[in-house]
């Protein structure tokens, strides 16, 4: 599997915001089958020491509207180790799917600022929003319209995103590849 889905949970929206969780999974863009998975909770203090920033409204949102979903405070890893582990995991990715103006930009900023070399280049970026727009697809919760289990868990979000991206790719190709 050469396709990788990436999702980040953050404490802001700028490219240098604190990342609190990294999730990723390899997948087949034809069938939607999920391959190897990656998830790490990132230590907030280690991000701050590296000069990354937080936004007050994001903290307020996590503490009020998303408190039950803020599982990233447990079992955290230093940001450098988290990024090294992600690079090692993602080394074989040919295409990195995400919200390319958010997750991909933030991840590349982290990799570059920490002096690392990614296993993929900027040409690997694939944008979920553009895919959905071109395929005229809408995001659905599930086939029966029930909400998905869990929200704002980076790995769960990746797996969910794979599902609707593969449907959009099938729609664009005119095939039912699943």
Extents of the domains making up the chain: 3-173
Nearest in space to 124 (alpha carbons), one of 90, 147, 154, 156: 90
Q: What is the pLDDT of residue 140?
A: 58
Beta-strand pair 95-98/76-77: unpaired
pLDDT along the chain (178 residues), means of 10: 95 96 96 96 97 93 74 88 98 94 96 94 93 82 48 90 92 71
Q: What is the pLDDT of residue 147?
A: 46
Q: What is the pLDDT of residue 150?
A: 52
Q: What is the pLDDT of residue 144?
A: 46
Q: What is the pLDDT of residue 174?
A: 79
Indicate the CATH number for domain 3-173. 3.30.420.10
Through-space distance between the first and last CA atoms of the chain, rounded to whole angstroms: 15
The reported pTM is 0.90
């Amino acid at each position: 599997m050469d396709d990788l889905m990436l999702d980040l949970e953050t404490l802001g929206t700028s490219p240098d915001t604190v990342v609190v969780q990294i999730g990723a999974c390899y997948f087949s863009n034809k069938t939607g089958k999920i391959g190897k998975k990656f998830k790490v909770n990132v230590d907030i203090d280690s991000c701050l020491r590296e000069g990354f920033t937080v936004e007050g409204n994001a903290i307020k949102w996590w503490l009020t509207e998303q408190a039950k979903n803020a599982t990233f405070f447990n079992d955290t890893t230093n940001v450098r180790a988290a990024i090294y582990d992600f690079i090692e995991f993602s080394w074989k990715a040919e295409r990195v799917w995400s919200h390319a103006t958010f997750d991909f930009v933030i991840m590349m900023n982290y990799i570059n600022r920490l002096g690392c070399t990614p296993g993929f280049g900027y040409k690997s970026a694939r944008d979920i929003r553009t895919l959905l727009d071109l395929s005229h697809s809408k995001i659905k919760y599930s086939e029966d319209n029930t909400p998905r289990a869990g929200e704002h868990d980076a790995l769960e979000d990746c797996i969910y995103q794979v599902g609707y991206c593969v449907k959009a790719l099938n729609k664009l190709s005119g095939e039912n590849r699943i």
